[in-house]
Amino acid sequence: CVTSDVQAACRDTTVTQELLKEGFHRDLLVKVELGEDAEGCAVAARTRLPPGIYVDPYELATLQQQNLTKVVLTPDVTDVEAPEYLATALVLVLYLEADPRCSRCFHAAVPVHARYHRPAEGSQHALVVLESPEVLLCCCHSHLAAECWEPAEVGAPCSAENVGPCRWHSTTHRAAREELMLEVPVGLREHSSLVCALTLLTTLLCASLILAATCRHGHF
């Protein structure tokens, strides 16, 4: 009976995430509908980005200066040129904005980019899996139900403007989809020999043209 009462008191928090646009450069959109009102609270979503996808810290800095997004990235130094098999996972804390039409609804988007993958055998796509994010709430002036929210170990400030320490809480949530799939185009291993041969021939041709032009017009 106690368990039933707790479940009734803790209304479901739902999370939806989408990848907008096409190709290697996308926007990750996160939407959260809380099970209770969160007036005066900071709401965020913490998600793990696998090695196959990343956020450009330089692009992120520009967007934050323009107040277009609010994000904490860990680690904050990222090799944007590294391929998927040499990269590491990232943890993203995305601060959500309130929806003026819905007191329990919040959303935010951040640009993400797919990394190059190794050539595959028999498939022209590699799959990058994004798990459902964790919902975080920081309420400095209101009380959260202990049976619904529990302290979360998050090393992130209360907001992008307030860098002071913040006590975040998390709750179980219902994801529209447990995982989000991103298909990344990759080369085929069976084409490796052909690609290498064409690359070598192109390099030799260009080098020959440069050498010929130098000998004809150069001054020695």
Instruction: Identify the bridge partners of residue 130 per DSSP, sorted by sequence position.
Output: 180
Number of H helices, E strands in the chain: 3, 14
Tell which residue, 120, 128, 100, has the closest CA to residue 28. 128
Give the pair of three-digit tokens for residue 17.
């995430």
**For the segment 90-110, what is each residue's pLDDT rounded down to a tens digit?**
999 999 998 888 888 999 999
pTM assigned to the model = 0.77
Question: What does the alpha-carbon distance between residue 70 and residue 158 come to, in Å, rounded to a whole number?
Answer: 11
Spacing of C-alpha 86 from chain mean position:
18
**For the segment 148-167, what is each residue's pLDDT rounded down to a tens digit?**
777 777 767 776 566 666 77
- Sorted by sequence, the CB contacts under 8 Å of residue 31 that are 6+ apart come out as 15, 16, 17, 18, 105, 106, 107
Give the pair of three-digit tokens for residue 26.
């996308």
